[in-house]
Amino acid sequence: MYDNARFQALVEEDRPTGEVVAVDRALIKVKGLEAVAGGALVLFDNGAQGMVREASESGATILNLSTDDVPMGSLAVVEDGIISIGCGDALIGRVVSAMGKPIDGLGPIGLTAHRPVFNPAPGVIERALLKDPLPTGVAMVDSLFPMVLGQRVAILGDSKAGKTAFVSQMVTSQLGSDRIVIYCLIAKRKVDVDTLVSKLQETGSLHHTIVVVSSIFDSLAQSYLAPYSACAMGEHFWYGGRNVIMVYDDLSSHAKAYRELSLLARGNPGRESYPGDMFYAHSSLLERAGKLASNGATMSALPVVLTPGNDITAYLPTSLISITDGQIVFDLESFRKGIRPAVSRGLSVSRVGGRGQNSRQKKLTSTLFKAMINYDQAAEFARFGSEMAAESMAAVGMGKRIYEAFKQPPDEIYSLVEQEVFLTAVLKTPGNITFNVDPARRQARELAKTITTEAELDAAIAKVMADNAVHPFVEADEPDPAEQAKAGVAT
């Protein structure tokens, strides 16, 4: 039974009050709160909470933040002039709702600091240039599409294409750093939430992560509010001088929740029935990321977006691409062909990631792209079954080796040094030489542990090349020189 002592105390403080005159699922019409500002927090006499969506002469429209129904005739009182969320170190390692309440069964969370859920983004003069690398632990991404701290990178792809696996690897790769990860799950099934939390616990990543959850059983308003609440939690650490990584999984579900709320409120539908301010809803969220000039701290944003049928030209994907500083696109067709991670090389891009690379890393990225382009061209000729020149055969061999090198299971991550040793050894070994990829990968991981100088890096690369290059390829229609020698045939 709800104890309405809090409600009575607010009424006695002479806060604005009103009466519920209409209820339409997630929307509540209240008479008497006409002068209340949008975004205010409202408490009903049955304990349910709501947020003011808009106010007019006819009354205020309230978004029901609770799963409990609010009956007609219920009384409402303004609890706070602006909706805010609890923040602090006590949240790290916990699983909370969009309202900041613990849902992991580990007891209450003592928080004294609060921040507005809807906070303006820092201005241009308050920002600094992004330049520090953000390793994801995934070789294909770190080498081809590197990220930097403070960057906004959209993660796009069809269902089951590997988006969540990639984000989990990125979160795990932050172990040992001072970065805080805030993982926001929007309108997810309970099994998805449990799977993610279990994965974070197994890898130890939960110790530097806050998980903010709105499930499919929560109200639509909480699904809409969740990413903004998570962002406010991140801003508390960011403005306090700490590096934060925000993951919004996913903004497609957020957009659907906002669309449903807008349609219920009789809002004018736009493209694909999304409200006209859908772009603003996402841009105002993602623009809150960046790097502060005052303390040098960063807040990175990784919004996940679903692209059914691999269609990145739909309204939401194009909208998010225009807001962010790059995108990693996961291709379902590549996934089905066994390319894991299934990152699309043609559609993915990182517009500012190169700033976080040194000259060696930039050269490695450039060489990788050239080798893969040469492979594409040579493989296209090979489709016609014509004889190939030795140079084209070497390009095909190199391309296949690179794709083999990029294969990475979801439970493995590699440091930037490990990636540089391994991939440089792969590229420096000629394409017509057989190269043992898996042993080389394991050897690079061991050697990278002791590398502190460029000389040691070069030595490690040379050792990996020497230990794993086997012998030249031999054409099937040409005699093997070794066999000819055994038979006494002149070569």
What residues are labeled active site?
A: 351
Rounded to an integer, what distance in angstroms lies between the CA atom of residue 158 and that of residue 310? 6
Dihedral of alpha carbons 49, 182, 112, 285, sign: negative
Q: DSSP string spanning 72-125?
A: TT-EEEEEESS-EEEESGGGTT-EEETTS-B-SSS------EEEESS-PPPPGG
Whether residue 94 contacts residue 264, with contact meaning beta carbons closer than 8 Å, is answered with no
3-state secondary structure of 64: strand
Whether residue 460 contacts residue 420, with contact meaning beta carbons closer than 8 Å, is answered with no
**Residue keyed to tokens 């490695």:** 364
Rounded to an integer, what distance in angstroms lies between the CA atom of residue 190 and that of residue 182? 18
Cα of 224 vs its chain's centroid, Å: 18
What is the DSSP code (8-state) at residue 57?
T
3-state secondary structure of 201: helix
3-state secondary structure of 272: helix
Between the two ends of the chain, the Cα-to-Cα distance in Å is 95
Whether residue 187 contacts residue 72, with contact meaning beta carbons closer than 8 Å, is answered with no
Contacts of 452 (CB under 8 A, 6+ apart): none
